Amino acid sequence: MTARSPRSICAMVLMLIASCGSNEVDSELEPYLVKAREQLQQSAEQLHARWGRPLAPDWGRLDGESWFFDDDQAKLYWLEKTKAVLVADVSLVGTYEYDPKAPKDKPDEAGSFRWSWDNDTVADASKKRVEAVRRWGAARRSAKVSKGAWIGPPSWGVDMLAAAVRVTGSSGGYMRSSGNLDFYFLLHSIRKPSETELHPDLSATKRTDASNEKK
């Protein structure tokens, strides 16, 4: 699957948040998620208002705009060409992988969500805080929050991000797409890059990114 544009990603997030109630991820969690979805959308709007263009829903549309996730350092960079214009300490909540062979008439089987704490390829620094969400879900016997991976629609991935933001009290949530994967992040500390962060190491072994060149 080719990468979806940042504009369509944002539109999908807003659509999913608005429509999740009609396709509940977990009936026991639903009352909690109603507020969590509202918080996720409100935080996205507030962060955009504060930080401007990098937090715009269509970041990546203009020439030179891209994003880069350094898993080892648990940092997310917003780049103009190779220069960082904004950086955030983050936690990777999880990923949603679209299944190209999924039946078109069964949207609930479009792909699978996987929590970062169940993914051995994710560095410990990037998933440490998400473990608290697993414990929270286990205490409430929620399979979607406490089980490592499961098949479902992408709207449920957005719900997991919303729940994680609310449970951890994070500044907000962020979603990006690359190839057939959606990435869900908790934002902890957003700032202008320091001198040492202006030009992050974009080596292939650490690189997870998307730019307008991939659309």
pTM reported for the whole predicted model: 0.85
Beta-carbon contacts of 26 under 8 Å, excluding residues fewer than 6 positions away, are: 33, 142, 143, 144, 145
Is the pLDDT score of 81 beyond 90?
yes
**Beta bridge mates, 184:** 94, 175
Indicate the pLDDT class of residue 11, thresholds 50, 70 and 90. very low
From residue 126, give the alpha-carbon distance in Å to each of 8, 140, 180, 213.
Answer: 26, 24, 21, 26
Q: How would residue 209 be classed by pLDDT, with cut points 50, 70 and 90?
A: low
Q: Report in angstroms the alpha-carbon separations of 80 from 54, 55, 68, 70.
A: 9, 13, 11, 16
CB of 97 within 8 A of CB of 180? yes
Query: What count of residues does the chain have?
Result: 215
pLDDT exceeds 90 at position 204? no
Q: In this model, does residue 168 exceed pLDDT 90?
A: yes
SS3 state at 72 = coil
pLDDT exceeds 90 at position 28: no
Q: Which residues make Cβ contacts (< 8 Å) with residue 146, sequence separation at least 6?
A: 134, 137, 138
Residue 116, pLDDT above cutoff 50: yes
- Whether 24 shows a pLDDT value over 70: the answer reads no
Mean pLDDT to the nearest integer, 34-42: 94
What is residue 49's predicted lDDT score, i.e. its pLDDT? 96
Summarize the confidence of residues 82-107 as an average pLDDT. Answer: 94
Is 170:186 a contact under the CB 8 Å cutoff?
yes
Instruction: State what percent of residues in the chain have pLDDT above 90.
Output: 69
